[in-house]
Amino acid sequence: MSVSLELLSSQRAFGGWHKRYRHQSASTGTAMTFAIYLPPQTAQGDKVPVLYWLSGLTCNDENFATKAGAQRVAAELGLALVMPDTSPRGEGVADADRYDLGQGAGFYVNATQAPWAAHYRMYDYVVDELPALVEACFPVSGKRAISGHSMGGHGALMVALRNPGRYASVSAFAPIVNPASVPWGQLAFSSYLGEDRAAWAAYDSCQLLAEAQPLPTLPILIDQGEQDSFKPEQLQPEALQLAASKRDWPLTLRLQPGYDHSYYFVASFIEDHLRFHAANLAA
């Protein structure tokens, strides 16, 4: 695979390296930025498994890297972290004058509607292009897990459910589990995918989990803050728990008293998620 990566920055962290790169994406037709944390084991020649992290609305690759505090445990576990941006960006890329649509709000779908369809192909980017690039250019194995927060929690769950066998496990913090039924998702899906709700089902984790055939082995861990102001209207994690219980799916939902939607919440439980993924990646 021939790919030109521009190194934007490189920092030592917990014996490994945190690096940011820009490259030209065939999926989005734009330059894309991503970050990768390479744990110390990679310096000794080991190929390590990868945890992909999908961020939420208004984020880029830097929110998780600077706020979640994941690098220390990733270094201990020998886990690489890959952190893509949340949408294509740039002057020639469609945008909206609001935080929950357009740049910073790609919702990890392949848009089919104008003006979004030209560049908003984040599903192809995170499922195919970025892993192929990472596995060609860095000392990583083909073992993958995926996690994310809010819009990124929707992305992680949806991508893992749509691609059985591709990820050892999936986890999420305060995910949008049923985007087809809540305001954030309905705005994004009607804009990016159009008004035909049949097209939305392929990106809705509750519907995907209810209909998955055959049943894959995909352990799911979800943490949700009980004081998260978005929980009642936008998140509704119990809907995915109910769908999972009807199919004996291995889903653990933990409601965390007092926690809100912020990265303080993510930072409080990221260690549990990293250990959950490391155990499943080693199984």
| Binding-site ranges for ligand LAXINWYW (CB under 6 A) | 56-59, 63, 67, 99, 149-151, 261-263
Q: How far is the CB of 82 from ligand LAXINWYW (least distance, A)?
A: 17
Q: Cβ closer to ligand LAXINWYW: 112 or 262? A: 262
Q: Is residue 228 annotated as a catalytic residue, yes or no?
A: yes
CA angle 57, 70, 223 (to 5 degrees): 60
Q: How far is the CB of 66 from ligand LAXINWYW (least distance, A)?
A: 8
Q: Which stretches of the chain are assigned E, i.e. beta strand?
A: 6-13, 16-24, 31-38, 48-54, 80-84, 140-149, 170-173, 220-225, 251-256
Q: Which of 154, 223, 228, 273 is catalytic?
A: 228
Question: Cβ distance 274 to 79 under 8 Å?
Answer: yes
Tokens representing residue 122 in the block: 């984040």
Question: Among 108, 123, 148, 150, which residue's Cα sits nearest to residue 237?
Answer: 150
Question: Among 240, 235, 102, which residue's Cα sits nearest to residue 176?
Answer: 235
Q: Which of 18, 119, 149, 261 is catalytic?
A: 261
Q: Cβ closer to ligand LAXINWYW: 113 or 262? A: 262
Q: Cβ closer to ligand LAXINWYW: 200 or 263? A: 263
Tokens representing residue 161 in the block: 């459910």
Q: How far is the CB of 168 from ligand LAXINWYW (least distance, A)?
A: 24
Q: Is residue 150 annotated as a catalytic residue, yes or no?
A: yes
Q: How far is the CB of 99 from ligand LAXINWYW (least distance, A)?
A: 4
Q: How far is the CB of 219 from ligand LAXINWYW (least distance, A)?
A: 23
Q: Cβ closer to ligand LAXINWYW: 88 or 219? A: 88
Question: Cβ distance 174 to 230 under 8 Å?
Answer: yes
Q: Cβ closer to ligand LAXINWYW: 40 or 175? A: 175
CA distance 44 to 60: 30
Q: Cβ closer to ligand LAXINWYW: 57 or 81? A: 57
CA distance 37 to 139: 11
Within 10 angstroms of residue 97's Cβ, the number of other Cβ atoms is 6
Note the helical H segments in 113-219: 122-124, 130-137, 151-162, 183-193, 197-200, 205-211
Q: How far is the CB of 176 from ligand LAXINWYW (least distance, A)?
A: 7
Residues serving a catalytic function are 150, 228, 261
